[in-house]
Amino acid sequence: MATVMYIPEHRQNRFAMRAVINYCMQEYKTYDSKSKRKLVSGVNCDGANSFREFMATKKIYGKDNGFFFYHYAQSFSPKEKITPQQAHEIALEFAEKAWSGHEILVATHCDREHIHSHFVINSVGFESGKKLRQSPSTLKQLRKLSDEICIAHGFCVLQPYQGGKNSMSSREYRARLRGNSWKEKLAKDIDTAMSYSGSKDEFIRNMSILGYHMTWTNERKYLTFHCPNGKSCRDIKLQDEKYLKENIELELRQREFPAGAEQPTGWEDSRNLYEQHLRERIQSKAETQRIADSYSNVGNEISSLAGAVSKIIDNDFEAPDERRKRIEAEENGSALGTVLGLGIGVVTNTAAYNQDETLDQEPDYEQEEYKTREEILQEIFGADDYDYDDYDDSEDEDEDEAFSMTL
251-262 pLDDT per residue, tens:
999 988 887 767
Q: How many residues does the chain have?
A: 407
356 or 306, which is more confident: 306
pLDDT grade for 176, boundaries at 50, 70 and 90: low
pLDDT digits (tens, 9 = 90+) for 327-379: 455 445 444 444 444 443 433 343 333 433 333 333 333 444 445 555 555 55
Range 355-380 burial, b when 16+ CB lie within 10 A, else e: bebebeeebebeebbebebeebbebb
Residue 156: per-residue pLDDT: 76
Residue 296: per-residue pLDDT: 58
Task: For residues 311 and 301, give the distance between their C-alpha atoms in angstroms, rounded to a whole number.
Answer: 9
Percent of the chain at pLDDT > 90 equals: 37
Residue 392: per-residue pLDDT: 42
Looking at every residue in the chain, the average pLDDT score rounds to 75
Task: For residues 297 and 225, give the distance between their C-alpha atoms in angstroms, rounded to a whole number.
Answer: 49
Other beta carbons less than 10 A from residue 389's beta carbon: 8
Task: For residues 268 and 47, give the distance between their C-alpha atoms in angstroms, rounded to a whole number.
Answer: 53
Residue 53: which residues within 8 A CB-CB, separation 6 or more?
A: 42, 45, 46, 103, 122
Give whole-number Cα distances, 3 to 77, 155, 173, 370, in Å. 9, 12, 8, 16
Asked if residue 57 lies in contact with residue 44, where contact means CB atoms within 8 angstroms, the answer is no
Asked if residue 125 lies in contact with residue 102, where contact means CB atoms within 8 angstroms, the answer is yes
Name the most confidently modeled range: 32-36, 83-87, 132-136.
83-87
Domains of the chain: 2-173+358-389 (3.30.930), 183-350 (no CATH)
Determine phi and psi for 72, rounding to 5 degrees.
-125, 170
Residue 183: per-residue pLDDT: 85
Give whole-number Cα distances, 184 to 4, 290, 325, in Å. 20, 42, 32
- Assess whether pLDDT exceeds 60 at residue 287: yes
Mutual angle of helices 200-209 and 182-194, in 10-degree steps: 130
Maximum separation of any 2 CA atoms in the chain, in Å: 107
At residue 131, the 3 state secondary structure works out as strand
